[in-house]
Amino acid sequence: MLHHFFTELRAANIPVTTREYLTLLEALDKGAISPDIEHFYAVSRAALVKDEKNFDKFDMVFGHVFKGVEVLSGLFGEEEIPPDWLEAMLKRQLSEEEMAELKALPFDELMETLKKRLEEQEKRHEGGSKWIGTGGTSPYGHSGYNPAGVRIGGESQHKKAVKVWQERRYKDLDGDRELGTRNLKVALRRLRKFARDGALDELDLGGTIDATAKQGWLDVIMRPERRNAIKVMVLFDIGGSMDPYVHMCEELFSAARSTFKNLEYFYFHNCPYEGLWTSNLRRRAETVKTLDIMHKYPHDWKVIIVGDAAMAPYEITHAGGSVEHWNEEAGSVWLKRIAETWPHLIWLNPQPEEWWDYSHSTRIIQDLIGPDRMFGLTLEGVDEAMKELAR
């Protein structure tokens, strides 16, 4: 069964290696895992999954492979599970009063009775204490009151079932899903370079000990706080075809502000030209020359451009192609200048990657900034983008 579990994880594109599988087997062999299936779930996930974005896939595979309480015996060999293990497991689930009130069936008899009732029952049943149904005191079904029950389908109402399968706790961490602020922060933190600068406001414990030992009296040493020294500039495409992605951009902006101490941001529409906006609402009154920005921020700044790259090709290739004003120079000229000024540049595209080949303007932009600099605005895409910027 464990080998089947391993192959199913690999089939789900979870990068599980033989070394990690052997680590799990070693934990089982040395008794580090109790027969509680929840404990096995926690330990196996810690041993086999190294990236939180795969937690959701792991939960689905685990629920598929181990969908039944009877698998406990399969995990620990052919021997019967010691009764004291099962009793200890139930005591963790039930109060003393419930244990006293309930004359529960032995575990193997519980499973055997379930099998017989599944064979005998012919229709849906609600309430009662025998048949598999809803809202009763039978140990089988769902929404019932039996504290030693096995939930079969439905939503949990009283949180009393001994085992509940396929509870997917990490659904929104799937690498193929669009980002939320919570997991977006995790992805952005890959772009970190810590340095100590500023006021001496943190105790240097090691330095204090060394200085005190040398001086013979207490010599308190202070140091600057360790902060992320990465400097990031974000250029947001606003309006038009980007309207459906406003919420995603807001989440990205919120996560970036909380992650990077040195953050600057500007706005543009479709393609950057000779001017960028510091405020989208006052784009005419609060415009900054792009050349001034190039001269102000050095080459070591990391630049993230966020846009769907979907526009008429002439907006990139021709002077006067902008839909909002007359641009003296083509957008392609400005994109080349931006890419040359800041070598550490990536483009985050909120559109699905499979759409990119059908957009002429997207292919043009990829050619201008570099084919390996455009990434999807998903957890996996941002993760790869941060690795690229960190090089």
Based on the fold, state whether residues 383 and 236 are members of the same structural domain.
yes
Q: Are both 96 and 33 inside the same structural domain?
A: yes
What pLDDT was estimated at residue 177? 47
Question: What global pTM score does this model have?
Answer: 0.54
Q: How far is CA 149 from the centre of its chain?
A: 33
Residues 301 and 205 in one domain: no
pLDDT at position 148 is 46
Whether residue 375 sits in one domain with residue 253: yes
Same structural domain, 370 and 289: yes
Structure tokens at 200: 């001496």
Pairing of strands 374-376, 275-277: unpaired
Report which of 235, 278, 232, 279 is spatially closest to residue 259, judged by C-alpha positions: 232
Q: Note whether residue 65 is domain-resident.
A: yes
| Residues 236, 300 share a domain | yes
Look at residues 93, 125, 151 and tell me which one is the last residue of a structural domain: 151
Examine the domain organization and report whether 315 and 218 are in the same domain.
no
Across the chain, which has 391 residues, the per-10-residue mean pLDDT values are: 82 85 84 76 85 80 69 48 53 59 53 60 51 50 49 48 48 48 64 57 84 87 72 90 88 84 89 89 78 94 93 93 90 95 94 91 93 88 87 79
State the CATH number of the domain containing residue 315. Answer: 3.40.50
Same domain, 376 and 329: yes
How many domains is the chain partitioned into structurally? 3
Distance CA 374, CA 383 (A): 12
Neighbours of 307 (CB within 10 A): 28
237 and 219, same structural domain?
A: no
Q: Give the pLDDT score at 224.
A: 73
The reply to whether 183 falls in a domain is no
Q: Which of 213, 228, 243 is the last residue of a domain?
A: 228
Q: Which residue in 94, 85, 107, 80 sits closest to 31, CA to CA?
A: 85
Give residues with Cβ within 8 angstroms of 208, minimum separation 6: 218, 219, 220, 221
Q: What are phi and psi of 374, to 5 degrees?
A: -100, 130
Contact residues for 1 (Cβ-Cβ < 8 A; gap 6+):
65, 71, 74, 75
* 165 part of a folded domain: no
Long-range contacts of residues 37-43, Cβ cutoff 8 Å, at least 24 apart? 37/66, 37/69, 37/71, 37/72, 37/75, 37/163, 40/75
- Is 290 in the same domain as 354? yes
Q: Is residue 296 domain-shared with residue 377, that is, in the same domain?
A: yes
Range of the domain at 236: 230-390
End-of-domain residue from the set 151, 185, 209? 151
- Confidence (pLDDT) at 304: 94
H/E element, 292:
helix 290-296
Q: Please tell me the predicted confidence (pLDDT) of residue 162.
A: 41
- The CA dihedral of 191, 197, 201, 204, to the nearest 10 degrees, is 80
144 and 258 co-located in one domain: no
Residue 78: the pLDDT is: 45
3-class state of residue 71 by DSSP: helix
Residue 156 in domain: no
| Residue 171: inside a domain | no
CA 138, 139, 144, 148: dihedral to nearest 10 degrees? 140
